[in-house]
Amino acid sequence: MKNIVSILVISNAVEANLLDEILTEKDIPHIIRSFHDLAYDGLWQTPTAWGQLDAPPEFREEILKIYNEMSLPDNLVDPE
């Protein structure tokens, strides 16, 4: 994949896996990189920055739309 840019920061592994599945299903090229570093035992992996998603810039809007839709409060499961 030539010419990729950072699209968004991913908060956690669950979010990363879900987004990866959706984008793969839609044939949207992407790379998800974790900030986990074995040398530092995940020291740089904070609760607000698990990793990032990189993709060709022409897919930015579609990826952000998918990400925002999967993050809507209506999509959350009520624990009742």
Please state the domain count of the chain: 1
pLDDT tier at 72 (50, 70, 90 boundaries)?
Answer: confident
In percent, the amount of the chain with pLDDT more than 90 equals 54
Q: Is the pTM of this model over 0.95?
A: no
Residue 29 lies in a domain: no
* Domain limits for position 66: 1-7+38-73
- pLDDT at residue 71 in the model: 77
13-22: average pLDDT? 93
> pLDDT at position 40, please?
57
Residue 60 lies in a domain: yes
Task: Note whether residue 59 is domain-resident.
Answer: yes
Q: Give backbone dihedrals phi and psi of 2, rounded to 5 degrees, phi first.
A: -90, 160
* Residues 28-65 pLDDT 10s: 999 999 887 655 555 555 555 789 999 999 999 999 99
Residue 26 lies in a domain: no
Q: Residue 28 falls within a domain, yes or no?
A: no
Indicate whether 53 belongs to any domain: yes
24 falls within a domain: no
Burial class for 8, CB neighbours closer than 10 Å (0-12, 13-18, 19+): middle
